[in-house]
Structure formats: C-alpha cells, structure tokens
Amino acid sequence: MFHVIVIGGGHAGVEAAAAAARRGARVALVSFSRDDIGQMSCNPSIGGVGKGHLVREIDALGGIMAVAADRAAIHRRMLNASKGSAVRGPRVQADRRRFRTSVQAALAGHGVTVIEGEVSGLLIHGAAVAGVALADGNTLAAPAVVLATGTFLGATLFRGLEQWRGGRAGANASDRLAGQVRELGLAAGRLKTGTPPRIDGRSIDWSAVVPQPSDDTEWSMSMELAAKSLPQLSCAITRTTGRTHDAIRAGLNHSPLFAGSIEGRGPRYCPSIEDKIVRFGDRDGHQIFLEPEGLDDHLVYPNGISTSLSAETQDAVIRSIPGLERAKVVQYGYAVEYQYGDPRRLSSTLEHGDLQGLFFAGQINGTTGYEEAGAQGLVAGANASAVGLGLDAFIPDRAESYVGVMVDDLTLQGVSEPYRMLTARSEYRLHLRADNAITRLGPTAIRLRLLDEYRQSLVEERLRQHADASDALEQEVSAGELGLQGSDRKSLAEWARRDDAIAFVRSRLPAGPGAEEALDDAQYAPYLERQRNEHRNRQRDSMAIIGSDFDYEAVPGLSNEMKERLRASRPSNLDQASRLAGITPAALSALHFALVRSAA
C-alpha cells in the first residue's frame, strides 16, 4: 500500500510525487509512458516574469524543476534586467532531452515508484478516495490521490479539419478516467491550448533574423547550481509580415478555432497566431522567438505562432516570415482541448471538497504553463502526504509567495480561461521577488520537512547571510564617511536608497546572495511599508462607498479586464467589489488607493 498515488507524469505530477516523498511518504506515480515523464510538451523554456518567480519558489520549497532547468539550460536570459528586482524574471531555454532525464533521475533519487499504465478510475469508499484502478485490471491502494492529468483528461487534438484523441502528439488521451470524473460531478468544462510547428534549424536563414545571445552574467534558477554547465546557444527574433497575415486569413475557413469545432477557451496571454490576426488585425507584425530545442537536436521552436491551422496553411505561414522562407516544418502545430475541474471546489490545500484525500494539481485546475503546474503539484503532493502520515498541512500564504497568490486566486475566484501567473496578480509584488524566494519560504520548507539535508544547509546559510547583512545595514554613518556633501548621519539602509551611496553600502556588507537580498529589502523598505499600510487600511475600509458615477478609467494600475468587470457590475462598495468573479486583490488595491485619494 502507498501513502500517495499520483496520476500523471507531467510537471504537476513529478513535483507532487517528489514533495510527498520528501516528507516521508511511499509514493507511486502512474504514467502512460515511463520515458515521457518530465516531458516538455510545448515550449522548451522554463521561467519568465511571474513564472520565473514560481520556479524560484518551487526551488525554495525543495522542488526539482529549477535544478532540472539549470542542468539542461542552453540559453539564459534575465527578463526586465534593467528594471527593479521585483519584476525581473529569470528564464532559461532547456535542452528537452536533458531536462527530461534530469527530472526522471530526481524522481528515482526520491524513491518514487513509477508504474507504466493507464488509470481507468478512482477507488472510492464512502466520501473518501481509497486508491486507483488500472486498465490492466490491477488496483493500487492509498488514502491520498493526486490528479495531475495535464491536457490528457478527455482530450482531443485539432489541426485544420482533422481531429484525433490524445493529450499531445503521439500520446493517448485519458478517456475512461475522464468519464468517471464527469459522472462524479467533478468536471467543470473544457479548455484549450496549443503549440506551434517545429522547424528544422538547418533550413533557417540565420543571417536574416536578429540574434538574441545568452546572458553573460552568471546566475541560476536553483540554489544548488551557481554556474552554466552546458554550452550556451543563441536564440533569435523575427516577425510576421503582411503576407503572413494574408495566408492566415485565407486559411481561416479550415481553422477549428473559428469553425466551431473547439468549444473551450484558450489562454488570453498566449493566443494562437490566427486569434492574434483576427483580434489585432491592424498590427503590421508580431514578434516570433526562434528557440533551439537542444544541443544535439536540430529542431527549433518558433515561439509566438501557436496554431491549429491546416498543415498546408502552416507551410504558407512559415515561408512568409523573414528568415524562414525555405524552412522545413518537421512537426505541424495543433490545438488540444481537454477537461478541467472547477478549482473553487478545492480547499487551500488543493484537496477536493467532495472527496477526502483527492487532490487536483496543474492544468486540471484550469491553469496553463509548466511553472504553474509544478507549483500546484508541490502544494498538492505536500498535503497529500499529510493525509497518510498525519503531518501539518501546507497552506501557502498569498502575502508570502506567488504560489499562495495562485492557489488563493484559483480556489476563491475560479477560472473562465487558462490561468497564467503574472506579477500584477499580487498586491505584495515588491516583497515577492524572484531573488528572495529562499529567505521568504526557506523556514516554511524546513518546518514542513520539504528539504533534504543539503538543501537545508543552503537555506540556513542564505538566512544567516541575510541576517548578518540586515544587522550591518543598521549601522549609522555620516555623509562625510561616504564622501558626500553634508552632515547627515543615517543608517546604511537609508543610504542604500541613494544611487551615489550604493557602492559604499555594498562594501560594508558581507558577501553572498543573502546580503544582496537584504540590500534590496532596504531599498524597497519605504514602499513595502506603504504597501503594508495600504493593506491594513483596505481591510479597515472595506465598506468604502463607490459612487454610481465613479470613473474606473481614471484608476492607475487597473487593467482593461478589471475595468470591464467593474463597469458591468457597478459595485456600491469595496466589499461588493471584492466578491466579484475575477476581480484580483491587485485590482482591489488600486481601487482602494483611488477611492482614498478621491476622498482626501
């Protein structure tokens, strides 16, 4: 008998299995194919703004995604590097094969039992899950099961007028389990995602595209690795053209997206190229990022042209793009529509409210992306292990992590389209930086036994560096000691907010990334304090009146989506606004600030 059974070997599944195992659970992971565990089904990248924050938090909680990304990284780029540290997003291009191999090795190292096969149904005793039934007639018993089925649950693939069953190209769909999920009333509907065609890199005219080299600076996703371990490749940028857009419009009559074949909504922030052209037809071009898929692989991933158009149209589209005029398509793009559950029926531990011991994680909760899936898997796995072992639950706090923001958003607001992590979703984003994930979440990870001995030592060292630097920042020095005019005497933390004093302040701090985090804390301190005060005031002023003629267009920081929702509902106070479906805490923060300002 196992303590935890995980269904699915994608990013949610592997993090769930690994987290449960780290807490001492006996874990079985069931996957259609042992070799496909840890597969990067879509883009060959990990991280980005918001997403990179999640990866760092997964790492701080002992997860495996960041380490696998570092070991497979063939291109590194710190997004928003010229901006403040709160919005910088680490992102790596990964060698697909090496990433998958690293994930599988990590699972083996955790002692996870991998079972190759199909789960045909859940075993249920009363109001609790008791294990799973396999298609070969065998059963597995466990008091906790994690559903991490990704895009495989009741999935259909689309390309032009073609349709076939599968969760991704060359793989099966989980239809029998999907049927039971529907019968139990656990299904909410269908969502859609997609992938672009893959191109033979040897057929690309690299002289006609803009190169995007890997960063020169040394940084890593994980606390474990500090330097590049593989040769770095260059990515490149090109753009669609008027010819591209004409080819897409000519092929729309064979598009399942516009022919009504697909009923599920796709991700707002990563639409298919045909959707972009229909919705933004006035633009003269859209960027395409050409991303190599591996050191020993000639395939290139053209990020930005996800599509379900026919193969013939995809050929025309590709060959209308500068640098790709003679490109050879190796695998055509397609869309996948799949079944998901309503995350509002989950608790903050990601346990389902109708079946004790059943946890949902990843795209089954209506999210999109490896990073979102991995973070949910870690939460679900940590809590699934608690069922059988009597351990403390892990309930991530939205004030302390983007993991907490995501879980809170999903379980309270639900989804109407695939959910993607954005830094704008958090009202605490100045505090939730990618660089301080270890100091934010390390103590929680230690308390919950989510770290091995080596990781725990790294966290403790980071915390020591941060504490020592924080103490040093309390030291008071005069302007003269800094070589500045005046007689001011301030703490190093206060001087750290002046560009002409940063070098001196840094020279007084101990070395190490923990010290850099403390320095960032000092620089952001006035804003962090204001943010905390706003939060306290917002709680106190939740009944603040919103006039019927209030102008939402004049509210800085309020997205167009939030403005539309508020205009449609016309809440009379902040409390009513907070209960509107889809209204984010960040939107409420902006609205509260505008109301206070207008009343002053």
Confidence of residue 129 (pLDDT cuts 50, 70, 90): very high
Confidence of residue 461 (pLDDT cuts 50, 70, 90): very high
Higher-confidence residue: 115 or 426?
Answer: 115
State the pLDDT at residue 547: 85
Q: pLDDT by residue (tens digit) across 49-89? A: 999 999 999 999 999 999 999 999 999 999 999 888 888 99
Average pLDDT in the 525-529 region? 87
Gap between the Cα atoms of 19 and 94, Å rounded:
23
Confidence of residue 372 (pLDDT cuts 50, 70, 90): very high
Q: Which CATH number fits domain 4-150+176-193+346-421: 3.30.360.10, 1.10.8.420, 3.90.1150.10, 3.50.50.60?
A: 3.50.50.60
Torsion, Cα 521 522 528 530, to 10 degrees, reads 180
Average pLDDT in the 119-134 region? 96
Higher-confidence residue: 290 or 478?
Answer: 290
Buried b (16+ CB within 10 A) or exposed e, 84-116: ebbbbbbbbbbbbbbbbebbbebbeebebebbe
State the pLDDT at residue 596: 79
Average pLDDT in the 460-473 region? 95
Higher-confidence residue: 420 or 539?
Answer: 420
**pTM, full prediction:** 0.89
Asked whether residue 568 carries a pLDDT value surpassing 80, the answer given is no
- Residues in a beta bridge with 123: 131
Asked whether residue 581 carries a pLDDT value surpassing 90, the answer given is no
Q: pLDDT by residue (tens digit) across 300-338? A: 999 999 999 999 999 999 999 999 999 999 999 999 999
Confidence of residue 542 (pLDDT cuts 50, 70, 90): low
> What CATH number has the domain spanning 198-337?
2.40.30.260
The residue extents of the domains of the chain are 4-150+176-193+346-421, 198-337, 541-599
Confidence of residue 229 (pLDDT cuts 50, 70, 90): confident
Confidence of residue 540 (pLDDT cuts 50, 70, 90): low
State the pLDDT at residue 118: 96
State the pLDDT at residue 261: 77
Q: pLDDT by residue (tens digit) across 181-198? A: 999 999 889 999 999 999
Helical segments of 124-188, H only: 175-183
Q: Which CATH class is domain 541-599?
A: mainly alpha
Phi, psi angle pair for 202, to nearest 5°? -75, -15
Mapped to the 3 state alphabet, what secondary structure does 48-108 carry? CCCHHHHHHHHHHCCCCHHHHHHHHEEEEEEECCCCCHHHCEEEEEECHHHHHHHHHHHHH
